Structure 1
Amino acid sequence: MGELSKRTMALWALWLLLVPPGLFLVYQTFPPPEIDPWHLTAYVLFFVITCLMPMNINGASTYLVQWVTIAVFLKYGIFVEILISQLTMLIVLTRSRTDEPLSMRIPFNSTMFFLISCCSGLAYLAAGGQIGSLNLVHIIFYGLLFQIVSVIANQIIYYSYDRITGSKAKFFSVDAMWDFALTLLVFPYAIALYISEAYIGIPALLLLGIPFLIMTAVMKMYNNSEQITSDLKKAGEIGHQLAERLSTDEVLDQFVIQVSEMFKSDYAYVIDYRDGNLLMLRMYENQEFEKFSVPPVRYHKGIAGNVIVTNTPVIYRKKSEWKDIVTGYIPIDTESIMCTPIARNNKIEGVLLLASRKKYAFVSHQLKILDILSTYFAVSLEKAGYVQKAIAKSERCGLTKLYNYRYLDEALEKSMGKVNTGRIKNLSLVMMDIDHFKGINDKYGHQSGNDILIELARILEAEVGREGIVARYGGEEFVIMFENYSKDLALLFAESLRRKIEKHKFSIQRDLDTERSTENVHITLSIGVSTAPDDSDEPNALIRNADRALYIGAKQAGRNKVAAYVK
């Protein structure tokens, strides 16, 4: 049995031990006075409407029902107030967004509300308060005591529960201060409601309730507009950050991280629409990128497929709304989903899907914000692609697609700086030249010679991998730069490479032959090796030393050899 199941069972056991027998005891000890069912029904209806119109304060939904529950307590006593509080609990739980299951939240909150009602009600009666009294001084004094005890009991229970469960516990939190401020704010309304209802009856609910509900609605609209303004500002900041990224991978990663953080999603996925299939480009789960592969699906399948086909963003607020259409990968604990197409030049390129373990995690205006962000993303991705192409043209050899001399010169300068500051121990250059390459061009043609250069470039890339940098130095000369490679290790690599090339068959077409027949040829390499700091601590000197080892130690010694620079 898991920790969550044990805690749930313990909470239900505590609830059974306290709430049902406690309700019976309260009813027997403090029975409610005679109740007018129409008045009570009016209170309950008004109470439910108040519960359905929460205000957003300090980033959380706040239900200003205290002014109704206080009036109910002053008129009907502890038992009825407990029942009203339990109704509050059920309404709030069905509308709140949290990771904890209802099976745990119901017994905990029911027990907590019961204990709060008992503590505050008993404090009121013990201090001398009377149910149904119309003495204004007593009502204000004892009623305020009722509210203060209620807030303190609420904080004590939450603090104790956090300590027991090992959560971060803080008694005087920002939320506690807001609770106390709201207590002082709504208390006069509660007293006014109670006294007005006692003298004029049900119309008092309308006279006081309608202005209060209008005020709540206006505040809710104001809070929503403030949230939209805040989200638009954040979207603009994210757009600027995306525009500063110079590679497509940086744009992708930054976009996923920022959007996931902004909308507080547990899962974020960028899905590419290509060749009639949906391919997963990025998987960001629980604030980490995941590397495992997800099989592609046809473009019209599942939630992302529907967005592609209809070109319409969607929000699903709970699993029951989307579970019958899902195809592909979605974490099993997902509840809410928000999904929007990513378009560039009026053409859909992919889909962004955000998911949360919470129900009702996303709201409608966020879909419009997400659409704006997707536009920023598409434009930034296109710009980064152009930048990468421009950089590639300036840093790469047009024929072999290896790095060119300009890039090698800059990389060598940086790596030599690492050697001189002690960040790396060694820096080795392996310089190679194709033996008798002019003869190959003369015999087979320059295009055949180019084919050999291209194939050799691919072999060098495969042999070096991520261990070093491969560059075309010029003509038929190539250079490999290794960080943290000693001279002995570089020589071993060079000798292994020399033997591999000596045995390799290069397939070329005889350009000078009228039939352009295919032929296999062999080539050999002469290789020179120089290492810093042993041979030099200057970049240009290290290149000259490797070149000297190549021509004096390998070429002049008979070619198809590996030679190390010797001072």
Structure 2
Amino acid sequence: MTRFSKNSWALWIVWLLLVPPGLYLIHQIFPPPQIEPWHLAAYILFFVLTCLMPMNINGASTYLVQWVTIAVFLKYGIFVEILISQLTMLIVMVRSRTDEPLTMRIPFNSIMFFLISCFSGLAYLGAGGQIGSLNLLHILFYGLIFQLVSVFSNQIIYYSYDRLTGSQVKFFSVDALWDFALTLIIFPYAIALYISEAYIGIPALLLLGIPFLIMTAVMKLYNNTQLINNDLQRAGEIGHQLAARLTTDEVLDQFVIQVSDMFKSDYAYVIDYRDSNLLMLRMFEHQEFQKQSVPPVRYYKGIAGNVILNNTPVCYNKKSDWEDIVTGYLPIDTESIMCTPISRNNKIEGVLMLASRKKYAFKSHQLKILDILSTYFAVSLEKAGYVQKAIATSERCGLTKLYNYRYLDQALEKSMEKVKSGELRNLSLVMMDIDHFKGINDKYGHQSGNDILIGLARILEAEVGKEGIVARYGGEEFVIVFENYSKDLTLLFAEGLRKKIEKHDFLIQQDLGAERTIETVHVTLSIGVSTAPDDSDEPNALLRNADRALYIGAKQAGRNKVAAYAK
């Protein structure tokens, strides 16, 4: 038997021992006066209508039923008020959206409502209040006692329950202050309703009840409008933040974090639609990015697939709404889901999915807000792509696609600062020059020379990998920068590279001959090495030292050699 099952049985046993016998005793000790069926039915009708029109205050649904329950208590006494309160409990249970099972919520809330009714009703009667009195001062004084005891009893029961379950809660919370404020606001309406009904009958319920319901509906509409405006404002702020990001990775990460926080989701996923497959780009679970270990699935599979096929966002309030269609990855405790397509230039590029462990976690208007955010995201992603291409163009050699001198100069300066601050032990620079390169251009043509430069660039990239930076220094000269490489280790690398190039077959197309034949050409490198801080602590000096080693120690010594700078 699970923990929830045990707790449910315990609550139902307490309910059976307390509520039915308590109702019987209340009826025997404080029997209700003669009841006019039509009058009571009218009260119940307006009571139900009020329950069906809750207001959202401080993020929680609030039911303004006190104006009816107080009037019912003053007219019919504690027994009828308990029955009305139990009806309140049932309506609230049906309408409320929470993960806790009804088998626990119904007995707990029934007991709580019963105790609150008993405490407040007995306090009213014990203080000297009389049921059916029409003395205004009597009603105001004792009625206020009834209402205040009701509010404080509610807070005491919740506080005690949270303490027993180990929850951290303050007795005077924001919700408690709202309850007290609503008590002062609703109480005059309840007194006016009770006195008016006593003198003019059912028409009083129409005269007071209809304006009250209209006011409640208008306030609820205004409150919902405020929520939508707040979400739109937050969406605009997120859009501005995305626009400020310069790389696609930054846009992706910022978007997932901000959207997950805005909608209070437990899980957020950005799914790429590529080559008829759905590929997970970002997995954000419990406020942390996870490794993307989910295999691709076909584009028409699952919830994301339906969104792509229909090009329509969807929202599911609980697992039973979507569990028959899901085929991809979702945590087992997922309940609510919001999913929207990400489109760019009228073409679907992917899907954004938010999920929560709570039922009914997302509101209907939030799906439209999410659709707007997805548009911001797509535009920002496209802009970041253009920015990255522009940066790459300004930092790369157009021919070899290696970094250019501009980028090398900036990178070398940053690395040298790390050496000076002690963050790096060494900074080594390898400068190389293709031997007799002018002769290759003269014999085979400049296009063939370019082919050799491109081929050499690819070899350098493969040999260096992520260990260093490879740049074209100019003409047939190339530079490699290694962080935390000693001079000895760099010389070892340079010698291995020299031997590899010496043996490599470069295939070129003869441009200057009568026939455009494919020929094999071999080239050699002269290489100079300089290391900081041993040889210098300035970027330009490090370059000059490597250049000096290249020409004096390698070129003048016969070429196809590696030389280290020596003071």
**Cα deviation per residue 1:423-446 (whole Å; 9 max; x = unaligned)?**
433322222334444455556554
Q: Which residue identity lines up with residue 425 of structure 2 in the other structure?
A: K
User: Could you report, residue by residue, the CA deviation over 1:337-391 in whole angstroms, capped at 9, with x for unpaired residues?
Assistant: 2222222223332322222222222233323323322222222222222221111
**Is 2:283–2:289's contact at 8 Å kept on the other side of the alignment?**
yes
Matches within 5 A, 1:113-124: 113-124=113-124
Asked if 1:144 is matched to 2:144, the reply is: yes
Question: Are the counterparts in 1 of residues 19 and 111 from structure 2 also a CA contact under 8 Å?
Answer: no
What is the identity, as a one-letter code, of the residue corresponding to 2:342? I
User: Any unmatched runs of 5+ in structure 1?
Assistant: none
Change in Cα spacing, 1:15 to 1:460, as seen in structure 2 (3 Å) is same
- Other-structure match for 2:490: 490
After TM superposition, the score normalised by the length of structure 2 is: 0.89
1:394: how far off? 0.5
Q: Give CA deviations for 1:171-224 in whole Å, capped at 9, x if unaligned.
A: 222221111101111112222233334444444332222111100100011112
Q: Report matched runs for 1:259-408 at 5 Å.
A: 259-408=259-408
Distance (whole Å) between structure 1 residues aligned to residue 80 and residue 495 of structure 2: 91
* Pairwise CA distance, 1:254: 1.9
Asked whether the 8 Å contact 1:271–1:281 carries over to 2, the reply is yes
Give, in angstroms, the shift of residue 513 of structure 1. Answer: 6.9
Distance 1:399 1:490 in 2: 27
2:224 is the alignment partner of 1:224: yes
Q: Distance in 1 between matches of 2:111 and 2:526?
A: 84
Aligned ranges for residues 30-429 of structure 1 at < 5 Å?
A: 30-31=26-27, 32-33=31-32, 35-429=35-429
- 1:27 matched residue in structure 2: 23
Do the aligned residues in 1 keep the contact of 2:281 with 2:292 (CA within 8 Å)?
no
Local SS of the residue matching 2:383: helix
The code of the aligned residue for 1:404 comes to: N
CA distance in 2, matches of 1:310, 1:59: 33
Distance in 2 between residues matched to 1:87 and 1:462, nearest whole Å? 76
Deviation readout 1:45-103 (Å, 9 max, x if unpaired):
32222122111222322111222222333344444434433333343344334454545
Structure 2 residue 11 is matched with structure 1 residue 15:
yes
* Deviation per residue, 1:1-28 (Å, 9 max, x gap): 8xxx53x356425423432211133223
Shift in Å at residue 497 of structure 1? Answer: 4.0
Cα gap change, 1:253 to 1:513, in 2 (>3 Å): farther
Does residue 453 in structure 1 map to residue 449 in structure 2? no
| CA gap 1:18/1:39 in 2 versus in 1, 3 angstroms | farther
CA-to-aligned-CA distance 1:523-560 (integer Å, 9 cap, x gap): 54443322222221211001111222233334444544
Report the Cα distance in structure 2 between the residues aligned to 1:105 and 1:549, rounded to whole angstroms: 82
CA 1:534–1:98: 2 relative to 1, 3 Å: farther
Distance 1:192 1:502, change over 3 A: farther
Matched residue, 1:431: 431
Q: Which amino acid aligns with 1:140?
A: L
Residue by residue over 1:272-321, the C-alpha shift from the partner in whole angstroms, topping out at 9 and shown as x without a partner, is 33333333222222222222233333333333333323333332233333
Per-residue deviation, 1:108: 4.1
What are the superposed Cα offsets for residues 226-269 of structure 1, whole Å, 9 maximum, x if unpaired? 22222222222222222222222222222222222222222222
Give, in whole Å, the separation in 2 of the partners of 1:305 and 1:274: 12
CA 1:343 to 1:535, structure 2 compared with 1: closer, same or farther past 3 Å? same
Inter-partner Cα distance in structure 1 for 2:35 and 2:22: 17
Identity %: 82
3-state DSSP of counterpart to 1:545? helix
Q: Residues 289, 508 of structure 1: CA spacing in aligned structure 2 closer, same or farther, 3 A cutoff?
A: farther
> 1:26·1:78 contact (CA, 8 Å) conserved in 2?
no
